[in-house]
């Protein structure tokens, strides 16, 4: 990797975005930009009362993502790679799941004011997993604000992510099927993924773990 690269990792709740972003940042000696989930004061309330707190939660995330996007625009003289655990377009995935029609109209007006020139990623890595795998991972990490996530909401989110990335054409896309992968416990899978990332030249590719 000679020129500067922007790499983003995406996927539904519990799929392992942040963990993989940290690992890749070490491998590529990259600048790391992470989305601070715990900083949203409405998130726990949203999972308990989604209709009441959806708009506040969404707008808070929108402005936080805008703040992080600005970091991409700042030149980093010490790193040739920047890795993040989000893309700004994810905001709309959640908005169209959670907001009412009047809220969406207002949300789109705010979006058009806040979001300026879009970030061009050199590679987006989309992590996907079965719903039972996500539920187990969410339970294991045991974050207080995630305890009230419903299976119905998680299922809706998975479908929305799959549809979104089925249509994705803004950058090369590497789809990683993570249901049978543990990058921490199985270094071979991680090394294969890193090799795939190094060899990506464009288009869409699927990374499927080898059978054991």
Q: Does residue 76 fall inside a structural domain?
A: yes
CATH number at residue 125: 3.40.50.300
pLDDT in single tens digits along all 212 residues of the chain: 446 789 999 999 999 999 999 999 999 999 999 988 778 999 999 999 999 999 999 999 999 888 887 777 776 667 789 999 999 899 999 999 999 999 999 999 999 888 866 678 999 999 999 999 999 999 998 888 888 899 999 999 999 999 999 999 999 999 999 998 888 788 898 999 999 999 888 899 998 766 44
pLDDT score recorded for residue 65: 86
Active-site residue (options: 29, 85, 101, 132): 85
Decide if 148 is catalytic: no
**pLDDT score, position 1:** 42
Say if 142 falls within a structural domain.
Answer: yes
212 falls within a domain = no
Q: 154 lies in a domain?
A: yes
pTM of the shown model: 0.92
Residue-level pLDDT at 2: 44
Looking at the structure of the chain, the number of domains it has is: 1
Structural domain contains residue 180: yes
125 strand-pairing partners: 9, 174
**Residue 66 counted as domain residue:** yes
Q: What's the pLDDT score for residue 132?
A: 96
Query: What pLDDT, on the 0 to 100 scale, is given for residue 74?
Result: 73
**Domain containing residue 171:** 5-207
Would you state the pLDDT for residue 212?
Answer: 46
Question: Residue 81 domain-assigned?
Answer: yes
């Amino acid at each position: 990797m000679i020129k500067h690269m922007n790499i983003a990792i995406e996927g539904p709740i519990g799929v392992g975005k942040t963990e993989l972003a940290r690992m890749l940042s070490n491998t590529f000696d990259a600048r790391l930009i992470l989305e601070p989930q715990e900083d949203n004061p409405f998130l726990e309330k949203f999972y308990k009362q989604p209709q009441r707190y959806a708009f506040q939660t969404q707008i808070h995330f929108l402005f936080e993502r805008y703040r992080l996007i600005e970091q991409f625009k700042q030149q980093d003289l010490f790193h040739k790679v920047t890795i993040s655990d989000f893309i700004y377009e994810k905001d709309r995935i959640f908005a169209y799941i959670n907001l009412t029609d009047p809220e969406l109209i207002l949300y789109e007006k705010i979006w058009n004011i806040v979001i300026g020139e879009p970030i061009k990623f050199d590679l987006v890595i989309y992590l996907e997993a079965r719903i039972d795998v996500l539920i187990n991972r969410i339970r294991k990490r045991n974050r207080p604000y995630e305890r009230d996530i419903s299976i119905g909401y998680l299922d809706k989110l998975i479908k929305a992510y799959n549809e979104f990335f089925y249509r994705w054409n803004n950058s090369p896309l590497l789809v990683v099927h993570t249901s049978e992968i543990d990058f921490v416990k199985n270094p071979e899978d991680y090394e294969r993924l890193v090799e795939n990332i190094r060899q990506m030249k464009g288009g869409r590719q699927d990374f499927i773990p080898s059978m054991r």
